[in-house]
Structure formats: structure tokens, C-alpha cells
Amino acid sequence: MAFLEVSKLSKNYGVMPVFKDFDLTLEEKDRLVLIGPSGCGKSTFLRCLMGLENISSGDIRLNGNDYISVNPRGRMKLQRQVQKNVGMVFQHYTLFPHFSVLSNLCLAPVYARRMPKAEARDKAMGLLRKFGLAERANYYPSQLSGGQKQRVAIARALMLDPRLMLFDEVTSALDPELVVEVENTMMELAESGMPMLIVTHDMHFARNIATKVAFLEGGRVVEIAPPAELFTQPKEARTKSFLKNILRFEGGDL
Amino acid sequence: MVDLNFSFVLGYTNVLLAGLLTSIQFVSVAIVLGLSLGFVLSLMRSFGGTILGMIATVFVEVFRGTPVLVLLFWFFFCLPVFFGTDLGGFASAVLALSLYFAAITSETFRSSLKSIEPAQLDACVALGLGAGTRIFRVILPQAVLRAIPNLSSNVVSLFKESALVSAVGLADLMYVGQNIANKEARPIEILTVVALIYFACAFPLTRIAAVIEKKLLKVIKV
Amino acid sequence: MNYDFSWIIVERALPKLFDGLLVSLQLTVWANVIGLTAGFLLALCAISRFRVVRWLAVAYIEVFRCTPALIQIVWFYFCVPMIFGVWWSGFLMGVLALGMNLTAFNAEAYRAAIQTVPSSHLDASVALGLGPVVSTLLVVLPQALIIAIPVLMTNAIGIFQQSALVALISVEDLVYQGRILAGETYRPIEILSTVAVFYLAISIPMSQLVGFFESRVARMLGR
């Protein structure tokens, strides 16, 4: 039994299908990177996993527990207890601008998990120290660089001890020089054994961090394989042409 | 040209200041009542569902689309009919100004509520924040902070409209000024001074708003 | 509390009220003729290179925006005859006062609109070889005018409502007629409510139009 099981996921935007009978499994040691052309549903898939989108049919199970399902009458049912195990970081930081970095980190533990404030503060400072952001604890988001904001967003999600982390194009909106610090943070998190689902356009980073890479197009998995295999010996024609274009753009091969 | 003599105005300083004080009192009451009602109305329109939303919308449209003078006269002439007694100008002034201020501030709050990016709500879901935390700690504080610049210009508008209470016989700055002008038959000096007093109060308010915007909102950058 | 709302009173009052409405509308239209043109010129002064011109324009704008319209109207009515020795009607005084008031607000609207046009447009047209003056006229101004439309319309609605103040200098506008009739018929509720409805019947549709133009402008700016 896999760590994350997605079966027969279907979702429409109005009459346009986004996914139809989409299947995916993830083991606990997996870090899956989703690549593919824009608008093929990668971000939407992550949002479905976070419970931010409605699905019309399908089953999602996390660690053996029912997470999201759709009853015969078409109503989606989401288990909040299981949702608490999933953390997500978005493309546009979405730190709360009226709270300091420290308050951003402590808000959810204190008010959603009833953690005592002192305990939350200690945990937050520990995380910030690990990320090298301890001196910025009392800064406001507007005083941070994009890379710092994104790392704070990651720390904020980690405060809740998630079992699965979702990253939705977290470096796409950053200046190129700031991308590295965020990716390094994600690599450290990976080395500590966190299961992840990552959507990114950075192929080099994908190659380094992933245990599996999935190429999505038109709402279905065209090909899924370990990164070494997918990037050097893609089996499907679409995968080949996509990678050829992307890698030409990025200047070189992997 | 006309010969102007401003010195006599000095003799009326106390009277003018008393009138100004009355104006400020009306404005203060209207702010307190109007701000609370305006806030409630904006919540009704943004989150209240169809019926509450419609009631609030009708209310706001009526009190925004009718001149304050008409509101004033309506209350002044119609309330006695309802209550059987002559209430004087005070009730109609407070009602007209407060309801006007409620209508314009509800628009301010509503647009600041709307300006909060949906992505923040995504973050609230991702963090598992409950509805109460989401509303009272994330959304509302930001809505209020974003509303501050417009709120201060609303206050300036209210202060200017307060001059109308003179039309129902209340002794505010405008009323006092007109009385003196009539008595002394020297409208130019007096009315100019009255205008300057209004300006001296309103102009700093507009500047304070700009300063607040720069300092506070620069750091918090909502 | 029983009250018999009498529609007959309303019906009988309509002719007089319509006369008043006509006066109010005329005031609004003439004030806008002044406000739309003079406001534009004033806006140009407010962004002029010459410090004195700029300063005077800004001073005018701030004075008319930070004082009540009522005092502006009353000042005009009582002081202009004394200063200039002219004896114009209350209507004309009202038009002038409202026009000067609107000029200040519109100048702000035009100025903000001009500054909202992305400077990249000006840069691009200069890069294409159009001189700065031509660029401004053909590229920046048309866009600025379009951007300004919603605010100018909102200001026009505002002046329509402020026009009610001329009743206090005995100009026979809608409010004036309403107050007279309310006194004559001892039926303030019917009369004054109808007066309010008249104002709403014009203000509300105009606001909807403003909303429509706002979304068009937003789309034009690519938001």
C-alpha cells in the first residue's frame, strides 16, 4: 500500500475536463516532480491534493487513510484530520503582510493546533535558525527579498509537521539569483526524508531533487520515470519534443 | 474695489470657535455611528448572502445617491410627523450625517475586503486555519489597514458636509459665520475667515492621511 | 403609527418638481461645461514645469477641495456682487461656484489619469521618432482622457448632488421646490421622498454607467 494513492481523479472546469480518471501513487521515500507544458493541470493537481479544488470523482488516500472522496451523489468529502498532514507552498509567497515573520510562523500552530505560544515561538525560532533567517524574525514580509519570503513560507508550512509537502512553482516568480537559496532549502528538506510533490520549470533542479519525474500533458501522465532515465532516455515522443524545447531554452543537456 | 477690514473678525473669535466646536461634535458623533454601521453594512454585502446583501445594497445606494441636504430636510420635516412632536434640528442632523457616513464607509470597507487576494485564502486552507482565525486575524485586520487612506478622505468629506446642519438652524461654524455676516453686513471678511477655518481643519487631515500611508503602510505593505 | 401615504399629493406636485429638476440639471450641465474644460487646463498647470504656475494650480485645487461646497456657494452669492459690483442671478452664481468646485476635483482626476498612463508609452513613441510634444498629444493624452472618464463621471454625479445646495440661496431647484411644496401641503413625507427618488433616479443609473466604464478602462490597462 503506497503512501499516497490517487485513483480515478476527475475534474472539470465547467465543461472542460482537466483530469479524467487520473491515477498516481507515491511511496513514502518519493519526491515526485511534475513537468509539462503550462495549463496541463500540474498546479491544479497539487491544489486538489491540498483540498483547494473540488473534484467530480476519484479517491485520494494518504498513508492508508481516506482523505478525499466523492460520494455517489457527486459531493466531495474531505477529511480535515488527514488534510492537516499536507503542507503547501505557493508561487506567490502569500505570507500574511500584516504579521511579522515570527507571527506568520506561529499563527497556525497557536490558533489551529492550540500550541502554547511559548512553545510555538521556540519551534519557530529553531526553524528560522536552521534556515539562517533568525535575525529576520521580527521583520515584516515587505522587508524581505523574494527568496527569503519563500523560505519563510516553507518554514511556516513546516511548523505544522506535515507528512507530505507540495511545492507549486515556488521559484517561478523569483529573480534568478534568489532561486538557488530556495532550492537549497528544498534539497535540505529532501535529505531529511520529506515526501514531496514539486511542480517546477527548473529542469536541473528537478533532476537533482527528484526520485521520480512525471511528464504531464492534457491532464494525464504521459511518462513517469526516475530522473536519470526520463531526461536522457525519454520513451514517449511528446516527452522527447518537450524536453528538446525546454533544454534548448535552458542551454544544454542534463 | 471694496475696502476690507478684517480686524473686527477678531472680536468674534470665541463665537467662531464655539461654532467650530459644534461642527466637530456633530462630525465625531457621525463618525462613531457611521463607522460601525458602515462596517456592518460592508460585511452584509460581502458575506451576508442574497437577502442581507440586498438590504445593505439598497441602503447604501439610497444614502449615497441622495444629496445630504435632502436627507437633512427629509428627517427635519418628516420625523415630527412620525413622532408627533417637533424634534428640532439635532436629531435630523445626527441621522443625516451618520447615515451618509455609513453609506460611504461601507463602500470603502467593501472594496478593501475585495482587494484581499484569494491566494491568501489558499494559504489559510493550506495552514488549516479555522474560519474564525481566518476572518478575525487574517482578513479583517488587512481590510481595515487597507481602508485607512480612503477612510480619512471620507472623514474630510463628512466634515465638509457638516456645514449643512446650519440649514436646519444648528449653530455650527457655518451658521455662526452667516449670522455674523448678516449682522455686520460684511460678508467678505467673515465668510473668507470661515472658509479659512474649514480649510485649516480639512487640509491637515488630508496630509495626515498621506503621512500615515507612507509610514505605517510602507512597513506593513498590505 | 398610521400614516396615509397620499399619491394624489405626489401627482399634483410633479409639475413643480419637474421644473425644479430641470433647474438642477441645468446647473449640473453648465457646471460640468466649466469643470470639464477648466479642470483639464488646471491639470496641465498642475504638472507644468514652472514652479509658480504649478504652485498656484495646486493651491486652487486644495482650497476648493478642502472647503465645504456650501461656503463656496454662499461666498460667491454674497461676496462677488460686493467685490465686482455685478448683480447676477443666484442661478449664475450657483453655476460659477459649482463650476469652480468641479474644476478642482476634475483637475485632480485629469492629473491622476495622466500620471497613470505608463511612461513606457511615452518612451516607446519617442523611440519611434515622434517628438515629445507630438507623443504627448497623440499617445498620452487620449489614453489619459479615457482613463479619467470614470472619475469625471463620478464627479459629475457629485456636482448633481451638490447642486441641491443652491436651494439655500433661493435658486428654484428641485430641493427648493420640494421644500416649498412640503410646507404648502403639510405632507413632507410624500413630497420629500419624491424629491429623493428623483435624485436617486439619476444618480443610481449614472453610477452603474461609471462601473461599466471602470471595467472597460481596467481592461484597457491590461489589469
Q: Count up the domains in chain B and report the number.
A: 1
pLDDT band at residue A249 under the 50/70/90 scheme: low
Q: B62 touching C, CB under 8 A? A: yes
Task: Tell me what the mean pLDDT of segment A42-70 comes to.
Answer: 90
Q: What is the pLDDT of residue C1?
A: 47
Q: Is B157 on the interface with C (CB under 8 A)?
A: no
Instruction: Check residue C109 and give its pLDDT.
Output: 95
**Res. A251 pLDDT band, cuts 50 70 90:** low
B2 falls within a domain: no
Q: Is the pLDDT of residue A253 over 60?
A: no
Q: Do B73 and C192 touch (CB under 8 A)?
A: yes
B49 to chain A, closest Cα gap in Å? 21
- pLDDT per position as a tens digit, A132-166: 999 999 999 989 999 999 999 999 999 999 999 99
- Strand bridging mode A196-199 / A31-35: parallel
**How far apart are the C-alpha atoms of C107 and C98, rounded to whole Å?**
14
Dist. CA A98–CA A87, nearest whole Å = 22
Which residue among B125, B133, B219 places its CB closest to the CB of A51? B125
- From chain A, pick out residues whose CB is under 8 angstroms from the CB of B119: 90, 92, 94
**Beta strands per DSSP E along chain A:** 4-13, 16-26, 31-35, 57-62, 65-70, 76-78, 86-89, 164-168, 196-199, 212-217, 220-225
**A113 vs B: CB within 8 A:** yes
**Residue B62 C-alpha, separation from nearest chain A C-alpha, in angstroms:** 35
The minimum CA-CA distance between A98 and chain B, rounded to whole Å, is 5
CATH code, domain carrying B138: 1.10.3720.10
Interchain contact, C70 vs B188, CB within 8 Å: no
Interface test with C, best of B66, B158, B179, B188 (most C CBs within 10 A): B66
Q: Which domains does chain C have, with CATH numbers?
A: 7-220 (1.10.3720.10)
The arithmetic mean of pLDDT across residues A191-197, rounded, is 92
Structure confidence at residue C221 (pLDDT): 76
**Under CATH, what is the fold of the domain A4-250?**
Rossmann fold (3.40.50)
Sheet with A196-199, side-by-side order of all strands: A86-89, A164-168, A196-199, A31-35, A212-217, A220-225
Residue B37 covered by a domain: yes
Do A3 and A30 contact (CB within 8 A), yes or no?
yes
CB pairs under 8 A between B and C: 122
What is the crossing angle of helices C90-116 and C7-46, to 10°?
50
Chain B hits for C193, CB-CB cut-off 8 Å, are 74
pLDDT digits (tens, 9 = 90+) for B119-177: 899 999 999 998 889 988 999 899 988 898 889 999 999 999 999 999 999 999 999 99
Q: Is residue B193 predicted with pLDDT exceeding 90?
A: yes
Q: What proportion of chain A, given as a percentage, has pLDDT over 90?
A: 51
Query: Average per-residue pLDDT in chain A?
Result: 89
Q: C200 and B61: CB-CB below 8 Å? A: yes
**pLDDT tens-digit series, residues A83-101:** 999 999 999 868 999 999 9
- Say whether pLDDT at B29 is over 90: yes
Q: DSSP state, A115?
A: -
Out of C1, C82, C175, the one facing B82 most closely (by C-beta) is C1
**CA atoms within 13 Å, Cβ hemisphere of C61:** 24
Chain B residue numbers touching A158 (CB-CB < 8 A): none
Q: Which other chains touch chain C, taking contact as 3+ CB pairs less than 8 Å apart? A: B
Q: How close B126 gets to chain A, by Cα (Å)? A: 6
Q: Name the minimum distance, in Å, from the CA of C151 to any CA of chain B.
A: 15
Query: Are B163 and C68 inside 8 Å of each other by CB?
Result: yes
Task: Check C75 against B192: CB less than 8 A apart.
Answer: yes
Q: Is the pLDDT of residue B24 over 90?
A: yes
B153 to chain C, any CB pair closer than 8 A? The answer is no
Chains C and A touch (3+ CB pairs under 8 A): no
- DSSP codes of every residue in B144-176: HHHHHHHHHHHHHHHHHHGGGGGGGT--SHHHH
Does residue A13 sit in helix, strand or coil? strand
3-state secondary structure of A10: strand
Those residues of chain C that have pLDDT short of 70 are: 1-3, 223
Separation CA A200–CA A63 (nearest Å): 25
Residues of B in contact with C83 (CB under 8 A): 1-2, 188
Residue A85 near chain B (CB below 8 Å)? no
* pLDDT top residue among A152 and A41: A152
> How far is C49 from chain B, CA to nearest CA, in Å?
23
- The model's confidence at residue A254, banded by pLDDT at 50, 70 and 90, is low
Contact A86, A62 (CB under 8 A): yes
Which triple of cell numbers denotes residue B65? Answer: 445617491
Q: Which residues of A touch B118 (CB under 8 A)?
A: none
Residue B140 lies in a domain: yes
Q: Determine the structural domain holding residue B72 and report its residue range.
A: 7-220
Q: Which three cell numbers stand for residue A180?
A: 538557488
Mention every residue, 6+ apart, whose C-beta is less than 8 A from residue C84. Answer: none
Of B65, B164, B181, the CB nearest to C70: B164
> Given CB atoms, is B194 within the 8 Å cutoff of chain C?
yes
Say which residue the cell 483530469 belongs to.
Answer: A19
